[in-house]
Structures are given as C-alpha cells and as structure tokens.
A and B are shown apart, each in its own frame.
Chain A
Amino acid sequence: MSAHATAVGHAAQPQGGVGVYTQKVGMWVFLVSEVMFFTALIGSYIILRWGTGAPWPDPRTVLAIPITALNTFILICSSVSMVKAYAAATRDDQAGLKKWLLLTVLGGATFVSVQAFEYHHLVEKGFLPSSGVFGSAFYTMTGFHGFHVTCGVISMIWVTIRAFRGKYAGGNYRGVETIGLYWHFVDLVWIILFTIVYLI
C-alpha cells in the first residue's frame, strides 16, 4: 500500500498521513501549542526571578510544600486511573472504563479543591497576586494550570456521562484516548511547574 502510494505521488496519500486518526493528531497539535504557552510562562518566571533583582522569598517559607507534594501525588494517581480507563476501553471492558473514569474525575476534582484551599489559606495569610513579583508569578502559573485542570475535570465528567451511556462500547475508544492525552499533559505540566515554582 505504502509503496504504491509513493509511486503514485502525494495525490494518492492515504487519509491521515500521520498514521493515526484525526482527533489524536488534532489533540497533539493543540498540546504542542500548549507547550509553548507554558514555556512562555516559565520564561517570564525566569526573567522575574533572576532578571529583575527583586527580593524573592524562599518558597519553602511561603508555600506548604508537603500538602502540594501530596496534591502532586493525587494528580499522578488520576493519570494512572485515566490510563487504566483507556486500557479498559481498548478491551471493551465497560465496567472497568466507568470505574476508572469516575476515579479520574475524583482525582482531578480533589486536586482543584486542594488548590482552592491552598489559595484561600495563602490569601488569609496576606499572600496575594499583588504581593510582589513572586505573588504575581505564583498565581499566574498555578492559576493557569488550575484552569486547565478545571477544564479537564469538566470534560472528563462529560466523557464519563458518555461512558455510562455506552458511547465507547464496541472498541470505540477514541474519545477516551483523546481526553486522556489532554489529562496526562496537564499532569506533565504540573510536574514541571511544581518543581519550578515550589521546589527551586
């Protein structure tokens, strides 16, 4: 097939030249643009922290690292439950799919709740976006990430409802795989942000 396609030239290219289905390519292209979005935020952080000479508090003294480390672990767990849901969907294991999707929603919602609790606590302590460049950078970076998780949770609820309606039965797992890519990406971004904002 491919030899034939090469012989005839690009006009005979099979549909979806990347070799995967269109939704997956679309999600990856979106995620690639997200890479640059978050890289720009990280670049701004580097400039603010090391370029301005502004006083920079030790994150350990301002932020609650153990709680956030636990939250990081929760997000990693929700990534595992997501990949388990995908594996169940590929096996057409509908009960497993529903169970793992519900756990994923729970994990994501817990992460956002802990972050909201953290924000509340920090604001009560007087640490605000207006509290210097560290405050601005902290709330901008974690806020954009939290927004991504929130979007993910809403989408995941939608996918879970569809799973309960049997929309992914019979090996039709593309929707689960595509939302999973987004979910894991948000987890991946958090791994980087947690290191940069909280630990370094």
Chain B
Amino acid sequence: MEAAEHKAPNYIAIWALLAILTVVEVAIVYFRLPRQLTVVSLVFLALWKALLVALYFMHLKFEPKRLLYIVLAPLPLAVILVVAVMHGFRGT
C-alpha cells in the first residue's frame, strides 16, 4: 500500500529542470518582452515548476487516488478566488 514500491524518480533530473526553468524566468524578465507575453509565460513556468515539485518531490504522482482528491479539493476554489478578483479589473 505504501509508496516505497514504485521506482524512485530521477530527482537530480527534476532539480536540473527546476534550475533551468528558473533561469528562463529571470531571462524573460530581463529580455523585456511584450507585457502580456511576459506575464503569461511567467505564470505558465511557475505552475510548471510547482507541478514538478508536487508530483515528484511530494510524490503525489505515486499516491492513492483518494489522497489525490483531498489535495485537488481546494484548487477549484483557489482558481475561483483568483479569477473572481481579477474579473473586476478587466478593461481597467
């Protein structure tokens, strides 16, 4: 039942990917791309990195489905909260 049965992921490869993505983020900021492109790509990269940490370092990928449901429960609420507060400023 416990997670130790699965083959351990290559943690060093994940670490290298996280480091590369961080460098890309900083590069994007200093390249001064168009504002919207900057924001969208930075949010995308941050979510990608967060997902890597959750799936591999917190080994969520190898946990039972029922634990996954507990973890996913607040995410729709978090998205609703962020979208709701942003919605108020559209066009301003």
Contacts and interface: CB of A to CB of B under 8 A. Distances in A.
Interface of A: 17-21, 24-25, 28-29, 31-33, 35-36, 39-40, 42-43, 46-47, 50-51, 53, 60, 65-66, 69, 72-73, 76-77, 79-80, 82-84, 87, 90, 180-181, 184-185, 187-188, 191-192, 194-196, 199-200
A32 B77 CA distance: 11
A42 B63 CA distance: 28
B33 interface: no
B57 A184 contact: yes
Contact of B53 (A50, A188, A200): A188
Contacts, number: 126
Contacts of A194: 46
Given A35-B78, A65-B29, A187-B57, A20 B64 contact: yes
Contact of B74 (A35, A87, A192, A199): A35
Given A18-B66, A24-B67, A187-B57, 15 more contacts: A20-B67, A29-B70, A32-B74, A36-B78, A39-B74, A39-B81, A46-B89, A47-B85, A50-B92, A60-B29, A76-B18, A80-B11, A181-B58, A191-B49, A195-B46
B19 A46 contact: no
A67 B23 CA distance: 12
Nearest to B86: A46
Q: How large is the interface on B (under 10, 10 to 19, 20 to 34, 35 or more residues)?
A: 35 or more
B70 A25 contact: yes
A104 to B, nearest CB: 12
Rank and list the top 6 A-B pairs by shortest CB-CB distance, nearest first: A19-B64, A195-B46, A39-B78, A184-B57, A80-B15, A50-B89
B66 to A, nearest CB: 5
Contact of B81 (A43, A51, A76, A196): A43
Nearest to B47: A192
A109 B37 CA distance: 35
B92 to A, nearest CB: 7
B43 A39 contact: no
A28 B57 contact: no
A31 B15 CA distance: 22
